[in-house]
Amino acid sequence: MAAARRLADSGVHLIDLTMGEDPAFFNGGETGINRLIDLVESVGRETGLPIMVSPGVIPEDLLSRLAESSSVWYACYQETHNRQLFDQLRPGQNYDLRLETKLKAHRLNLLIEEGLLCGIGETPGNIVQSIEAMRNLDADQIRVMNFVPQRGTPMENLNPANPQKERLISAVMRLAFPDRLIPASLDVEGISGLKQRLDAGANVVTSIVPPGEGLAGVAQHSLDIEEGKRTHASVVSVLQACGLRAATQNEYLAWIKSRRQAIGTHHSRGKIAC
């Protein structure tokens, strides 16, 4: 909790509790679920910041409890919107259930982040399909990340995609979604890849991880962290070099408020469908 407080004090606008479908929360019955809600509430109280959670596919009653907690964002990536490719990436998981859970989260006024992987065997047509699905979902934050093979997994020998591919897709996303948030993640190439992602159209920086806290990233779990290159200050330095400035917390909160009003309007008119 102290690490979250220090991260908030550094100037970030959101705390992202990246967790996946953690059995500590979902195999423990009501006790495990209460632990998740307590965690979200505690981090919210400690930092005073909006919270993003990514617990995977969860039942509607838990979504409702998250919506009533400090949680503002529900992140749940389809990774691809081609069903055959989805079945290869997520064996045993239900494509429609995953998509419907995001729609339910939106109906509860949670903002949703949707994402896709590139470099996993997708075609240009698959990418177009994903962008259209994101439009139908009315996702508030959309992202693309190059797949980074992980040692010891079934896809460890997959050749990584050209980094340019991720940036090209991000640029297309910016044209398709001029008013949405598109992350520039520090997880794939670290601080050295930030400028190119901003140039491609990203307008929010994610995966800021301070050194000395025992925290880790995802795709590249240790990249640039202990060197102090994934801090708020390091990001601001790159923004200034690009002629940009970091939004204020109030500006970010105003954007969240406007998006929540927009999704409420969409639902009242019955315009969200996938």
Judging by DSSP bridges, how do beta strands 51-53 and 15-17 pair with one another? parallel
CB atoms within 10 A of CB 168: 15
Q: Lowest mean pLDDT of 11-15, 59-63, 64-68, 212-216, name the range.
A: 212-216
Question: Are 108 and 67 a contacting pair, CB within 8 Å?
Answer: yes
Domains annotated for the chain, with CATH where assigned, are 2-268 (3.20.20.70)
DSSP calls for 52-86? EE---S--HHHHHHHHHTTEEEEE---B-S-HHHH
CB atoms within 10 A of CB 92: 5
pTM of the model: 0.91
pLDDT tens per residue across span 119-167: 999 999 999 999 999 999 999 999 999 998 888 888 888 888 888 999 9
Question: Are 46 and 4 a contacting pair, CB within 8 Å?
Answer: yes
Q: What pLDDT is stored for residue 266 in this prediction?
A: 60
Question: Position of tokens 């990246």?
Answer: 18
